[in-house]
A and B are shown apart, each in its own frame.
Chain A
């Protein structure tokens, strides 16, 4: 094997010089195989300095429009821990409902708009629309349902406003909760069943690549952990959230402005597949049946199956949302005010699962309740080293394939992780017809 191949896939983001897949093979030897992504939260750490605890979550939710709810929840938990603010059971239930909605929304978009084209053998989700209009309408209906959960509980779907340190500034009406429950049952469940059918029909398009790695997620004894739990590694077991720095070990690499992470091995994976591998035993029987139908093994080492794990999570999030609403309605919504009287001023760490994996925020507050220092570790940063190592194993396995196939499989791999490129721009390019 003496192949020489240079691949440089540049359209990951429009930010020049970043977000590229670079592969160089010389005389059959893999010289370079890397993914470069810019990470934005570093700017926020500087921006947060000196800000009051009332503002922290508002600023951090702007780190990213797609992942804003997750940043908000991790931020609130860190602030509450640092200031000794207890929250009520009702607040926890409402936050869990928000996380279910946000996870459902992000997973649905990823499954239908990013992964589906690969499964259906086209380069572009939009080419699928004319022949699969029902499927697209279903995807948009599910996205809207998930959005509406966010709207009802948090005030507005994209940048949540009612969740604040210590609770909520506005609570949902019971009638609104009943209405969304009805939609979850009447639209959500049939739509997610249909999603399972759709994905089951294209499973043979998922590449058979495997690479066992370390899987890290939150884990909780009583539930499929999304909102809260200990940090759990498939290699080393549970660790307290306070030890997150030892679990992430950020380090600088020359090819990326974003730091990489590692723990027990050279890299680890976070996200839906990591959650599935660590916590599948806490899913309901019906969610496990969905997993079985989708050939998702209890220990799955194929990163491309991350998308399939997301489908299982969609099912879980709908089921769990219904159960949470039932619990809220049974208790009755109590008119609680947020608890915003600090009992201490110190350091706090908030960890939560967002669609792309475990997210950490850490703050230190001074005696006036202003930020002294902040740290934020996003899932994509944690996955970057793992993506590099996946690519390094994958490329030699497919090196005899045509260049286009190698490029496609690498792109699919990166897409399976759905990297958060919070600094990506969405600039529209237009040409005026007739000048």
Chain B
């Protein structure tokens, strides 16, 4: 199978305030054609479909609102090995599956890409029916800068 070298994937619910940050960044990237040739994928709330991208991609970059106990708008770039996730078990609905579940599943069935980088943004509010908070909306440029260094870092590494 020919793998995509990199995919940028947003997850989150655009109905719920800052949970929509990933999608909003993807829109910015599309408008500016910032990273030509790199697929921009919005998984929205169908987080399980990440698995399909895991198996055919070398480096998956995920943009997502993440509760890290930091100031709202704080951006952290990390890999899955850097953190411990809270895995939500005892699900009531397909609407409740989150990234931690999917990462665990991918690990067990061996469908893990070579590298997963998560660009996490601490949300200010995740209220239903609200748009992005100004704090998180203002962090978009910084997210894109982080994305750029993750991508160029990776390309440099593979060339080098």
Contact = CB atoms under 8 A, between A and B. Distances in A.
A140 B45 contact: no
Given A422-B15, A432-B78, A433-B83, A427 B98 contact: yes
B93 A144 contact: no
Interface residues of A, number: 56
A421 interface: yes
Interface string B78-96: 1000111111111111111
A270 B11 CA distance: 29
Contact of B85 (A11, A114, A140, A429): A429
Contacts of A144: 52
Contact of B51 (A19, A62, A140): A140
A208 B24 CA distance: 47
A222 interface: no
A15 interface: yes
Contacts of A114: 91-94
A35 to B, nearest CB: 10
Given A126-B101, A140-B109, A426-B99, A419 B93 contact: yes
Nearest to B23: A62
Interface stretch (B123-131, B133-141, B142-150, B152-160): B123-131
Most buried by A among B44, B48, B68, B93: B93
Interface stretch (A130-138, A197-205, A240-248, A313-321): A130-138
Contacts of B48: 109, 113, 143
B38 interface: no
A64 interface: yes
A133 B106 CA distance: 11
Nearest to B11: A426
A259 B67 CA distance: 31
A14 to B, nearest CB: 8
B97 to A, nearest CB: 7
A427 B120 contact: no
B93 A421 contact: yes
Closest 3 CB pairs of A and B: A65-B44, A65-B45, A124-B89
25 contacts: A11-B88, A11-B92, A13-B96, A65-B44, A66-B95, A68-B44, A113-B48, A114-B91, A114-B93, A126-B87, A126-B108, A129-B108, A136-B109, A159-B42, A415-B91, A421-B93, A421-B95, A425-B12, A425-B13, A427-B66, A428-B98, A428-B99, A428-B118, A430-B67, A433-B83
Interface of B: 11-16, 19, 42-49, 51-52, 64-69, 76, 78, 82-101, 104-105, 108-109, 111, 118, 120, 123, 126, 128-129
Given A427-B66, A432-B76, 4 more contacts: A65-B46, A423-B15, A425-B13, A426-B99
